[in-house]
Amino acid sequence: MISERHVPLLAFAALAVFGAATGAWRDAHEPVAIAWPAAADWCWLKANLAWEKRDEARTRELTTLAVALAPMTDYFRVNAARMRAFDFPEWREREQPTAPSALKAAWRAELAGEALAVLEHAPGRSPELWIEAGNIALYARRDSREAAAYYRRAAEMVGAPWHAGRICGELLWRSGQRREAVEWLRAWGGRLPADEPEAQRELVLARCAEWERELQRE
C-alpha cells in the first residue's frame, strides 16, 4: 500500500535513476524512464479528488507526479494538459471575478503555455498529442497560427488521422497565411489516396482550388 508520504520519494527516486542513467539530471517536469503504474494511478486518483475541490496547487502537484511516474501514458498527460489549459483559469476567474481582463488573459496565456509544455515533453510524441496541442493553442491560447503548426506536426507523422492535414490548411488560411495554406493543401491533397473515403481527397482538392481562385482575385 502506497501512502501519501511515499509518493514524493518514489518520484524523486525515479528522477534520480533516470538522471544517473543518462548522466544528467532532468527538470521535474521531464518524463522519466522508470514508471510505477500503481503509484501513478494512486497519484491520479488523488489528483481527481483535488480537482473536485478546485485545488489548483494540489491538482498540479499530483498530475505532475502521475505523468512523471507513467510518462508513456497519454491519458495522464492529455488530461493534465487540459486541466491546466481550461480548468485552472476558470477556477481563478471564479475565485476573483472582478479581476481585470488583462490579468485574466495573462492567466490563460500562462496556463496554456504550461499545458503545451506538458505535451511537448512527452517521450513518445504521437499524432494525437500534437493534435491535442493544436486544440489547446487554438481554444485556450486562441492562436490559429500556433495551432496550425501543431496540426502540421501531427499531419506529417506516420499514422496521423486524415483530418489533421485538412485542419492545418484551414488554420493557416484563418491566420492569414493564405499562400502557405494553398501550398500546404495542394501538396497534402496530392498525397491523399483516392480510394479512401475518410481521406476526402476530392473535398481537399476542391477547397484548394477555391482558395487559389480567391487569391487570384486579390
Question: Per residue in 52-79, is it b (16+ CB within 10 Å) or e — as a string?
Answer: eeeebeebbbbbbbbbbbbbebbebbbb
Say whether both 89 and 151 belong to one domain: no
Domain carrying residue 24: 1-124
Inside any domain, residue 131? no
Separation CA 36–CA 34 (nearest Å): 7
* Tally of domains within the chain: 2
Complete DSSP assignment for 9-52: HHHHHHHHHHHHHHTS---TTS--S---HHHHHHHHHHHHHHHH
What's this model's pTM, rounded to 2 decimal places?
A: 0.82
Say whether both 37 and 86 belong to one domain: yes
Inside any domain, residue 120? yes
CA atoms within 13 A on the CB side of 15: 17
User: What tens-digit pLDDT sequence spans the chain (218 residues)?
Assistant: 444 455 555 555 544 443 433 334 345 444 444 447 888 999 999 999 999 999 999 999 999 999 999 999 999 999 999 999 999 999 999 999 999 999 999 999 999 999 999 999 999 789 999 999 999 999 999 999 999 999 999 999 999 999 999 999 999 999 999 999 999 999 998 899 999 999 999 999 999 999 999 999 87
